[in-house]
Every structure is written in C-alpha cells, then in structure tokens.
C-alpha cells in the first residue's frame, strides 16, 4: 500500500472519530463562536503531504533531491545514523501557555517522494495583530472548521514521521532557534494533548551551531535565517516567516554550517538533545 494511500486512510479514520455537529454559518457570525470547538461538526483537513516523483526518475523538475552535506557522509551511504528532519513552526506569539502553533512544516533531508509535510493549525484563539503582521497568518485564515487543530494533526504527524523513520534509528529534528522557541512550543502542544514526545526523537538547534561557527568565521554577521541566507548566497522561495519557506532555507543553509564546522553525522548526533532537556530550558 502506498504512503499516500495509507496517509489518506489514516486521515479518514481520524475524521470519522469526531462527533457529528455542523458549524452553522449565518449573518453576524462571530470569531468567538468560531473559536469554540463545540461549534464544529465536521472537519475537512488541509494538512497535506507534498507529492513528488521519486528522485530516481528522469523528470527532475518534479523531484525533491536528498541533501547530503560533505561532512555528513558516512562510511556507507546506507548507514545513516538517523532520519534528519528540518522543521519550522509559526505561532500566535512568543512562548507562553496562552500562545499556540498556527503552522507546522518539515522536510526529510533524505528527499524523494512525500519528503515534505506542512499544515496550517487552528489555534482555537485569535491571532494577535503583531503576529499576523510578521507571518501573514490571520485569525480569518486559521480559525476555520476546515483547518485542523493540533490534536487533529498529531496522530497524522506521528504516523508520517514513523513512515520516514529508518528501522531502529532515531529521528533527528533540526530547527533554527529550536532551543528557545520551536521545541518548547512543540512540547507544550504535546502536553496539551496529553501525549508524550517519542523517546527516540532528538533535537538540534542550528542557531547554536551557527554561533559556534561564528567564533571561527569573522565574516559571519547576524545569525538569523535571512542574514545567513544572504551570507551563503541562499535564496528563499516564498515569504519569510512562513514555515515551509523557512524550512527550505534552512535545508540549504545547514550544509554550509556543517561544512564550516567540519561536522560529521556522528558529530551532529552529539549536538542533539532529548526533548526533556528542552522542557527544562522552556521552564527556566
């Protein structure tokens, strides 16, 4: 059974588990009502896998290649110590119990078919004006019954990651400013769903790697994604401060950083931390 078919079956099973209540549209309908989960009847997810052809096919225009940084090579191409996923989130604000994830995106560096995953997420609250101005994600865009809540996305995300995970190998998640932002937010959403982050998920903060590299490379200035992209000549497709464009930018920048640090894959693994270490940071 293909990955896409299994994904659709899983998604349909999740849809069918919700109570049948229809959201009634009428004149004067307010966002306060829309933000109440009890007003939902049926949810048509906008979560999607990017469907691409296999990298081994000749039509390269429709393919997503693997990313193999020079210093991440192993003695055997088939001896990858972990599945490496670059990810990014957009939120309603800075880390706080009242703020929520409103967009999630990832890309598997091994490339190939269905190597990306992205979705808007219904935060069940208003998106503040300052957040909407930063990422162009408004309350009107995400607070709709066809946009899944994080609790809707979670089982699909877990199944997707498991489908990409090499047997017996951990999953290595990489994000820029993961330590102070992305990972604590993800942990908070898992806890809100009474779920545990899988024990074999490890996390690396590429911002910490960039800081290490800056100590030996005086030409590096600011360390945000935009500045690093300009430094390395990496152009970003799509608006900045949106999850997938930022993921794609980091996918191009990460090999430059690991090359500068002469970081092997084992070295990158040594930089990884388990989720509970980030939980300690987020509660300091």
Domains and CATH numbers, the chain: 46-282 (3.30.420.10)
Find the distance separating the first CA and the last CA of the chain, reported in whole Å: 46
Is pLDDT at 135 greater than 60 in this prediction?
yes
Residues 34 and 25: their CA atoms lie apart, in Å, by 10
Q: Which of 274, 268, 88, 271 is nearest to 177 (CA)?
A: 88
Tell me, what's the pLDDT at 212? 94
Q: Which of 164, 180, 173 is nearest to 271 (CA)?
A: 173
Q: Which two tokens stand for residue 100?
A: 């929520």
What angle do the packed helices 206-216 and 243-260 form, to 10 degrees? 40
What is the average pLDDT value for the chain, to the nearest integer? 77
Which residues, listed in sequence order, are joined to residue 118 by a DSSP beta bridge?
Answer: 48, 105
Mean pLDDT of all residues in 126-147: 95
Residues 86 and 247: their CA atoms lie apart, in Å, by 6
Q: Which of 193, 153, 189, 136 is nearest to 45 (CA)?
A: 153
Tell me, what's the pLDDT at 265? 80
Residues 246 and 235: their CA atoms lie apart, in Å, by 11
Tell me, what's the pLDDT at 71? 54
Q: Residue 24's CB: how many other CB atoms inside 10 A?
A: 9
The 10s digit of each residue's pLDDT in 192-213 is: 999 999 999 999 999 999 999 9
Tell me, what's the pLDDT at 267? 85
Q: Are 111 and 64 in contact (CB under 8 A)?
A: yes
Which residues, listed in sequence order, are joined to residue 53 by a DSSP beta bridge?
Answer: 63
Mean pLDDT of all residues in 146-161: 96
Tell me, what's the pLDDT at 29? 29
Which residues, listed in sequence order, are joined to residue 201 by a DSSP beta bridge?
Answer: 171
Q: Active-site residue numbers?
A: 241
Is pLDDT at 140 greater than 60 in this prediction?
yes
> What is the pairing mode between strands 171-175 and 83-91?
parallel
Tell me, what's the pLDDT at 63? 54
Tell me, what's the pLDDT at 124? 95
pTM confidence score: 0.76
DSSP 84-135: EEEEEEEESSSSSTT--EEEEEEEETT-STT-EEEEE---SSPPPHHHHHHH
Tell me, what's the pLDDT at 35? 36
38: which DSSP letter?
Answer: G
The 10s digit of each residue's pLDDT in 226-280 is: 999 999 998 766 666 789 999 999 999 999 999 999 988 888 888 898 766 665 5
Is pLDDT at 11 greater than 70 in this prediction?
no
83: which DSSP letter?
Answer: E
Mean pLDDT of all residues in 65-90: 70
Q: Residue 122's CB: how many other CB atoms inside 10 A?
A: 28
């Amino acid at each position: 059974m293909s990955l896409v078919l299994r994904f659709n079956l899983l998604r349909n099973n999740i849809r069918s588990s919700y109570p049948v209540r229809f959201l009634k549209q009428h004149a004067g309908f307010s966002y306060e009502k829309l933000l109440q989960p009890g007003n939902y009847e049926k949810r048509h997810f906008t979560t999607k896998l990017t469907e691409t052809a296999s990298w081994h096919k000749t039509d390269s225009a429709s393919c997503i290649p693997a990313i193999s940084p020079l210093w991440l090579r192993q003695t055997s191409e088939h001896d990858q110590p972990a599945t490496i996923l670059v990810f990014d989130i957009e939120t309603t604000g800075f880390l706080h119990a009242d703020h929520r994830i409103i967009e999630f995106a990832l890309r598997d560096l091994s490339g190939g078919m269905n190597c990306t995953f992205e979705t808007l997420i219904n935060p069940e609250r208003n998106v503040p004006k300052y957040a909407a101005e930063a990422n162009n994600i408004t309350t009107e865009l995400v607070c709709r019954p066809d946009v899944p809540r994080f609790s809707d996305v979670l089982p699909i995300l877990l199944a997707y990651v498991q489908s990409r995970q090499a047997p017996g190998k951990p999953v290595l998640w990489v994000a820029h400013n993961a330590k102070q932002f992305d990972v604590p937010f993800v942990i908070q959403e898992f806890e809100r769903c009474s779920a545990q982050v899988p024990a074999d998920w490890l996390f690396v903060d590429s911002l910490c790697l960039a800081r290490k590299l800056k100590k030996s490379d005086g030409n590096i200035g600011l360390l945000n994604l935009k500045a690093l992209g300009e430094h390395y000549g990496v152009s970003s497709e799509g608006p900045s401060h949106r999850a997938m464009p930022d993921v794609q930018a980091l996918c191009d920048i990460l090999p430059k950083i690991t090359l500068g640090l002469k970081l092997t894959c084992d070295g990158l693994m040594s930089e990884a931390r388990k989720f509970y270490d980030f939980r300690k940071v987020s509660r300091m």
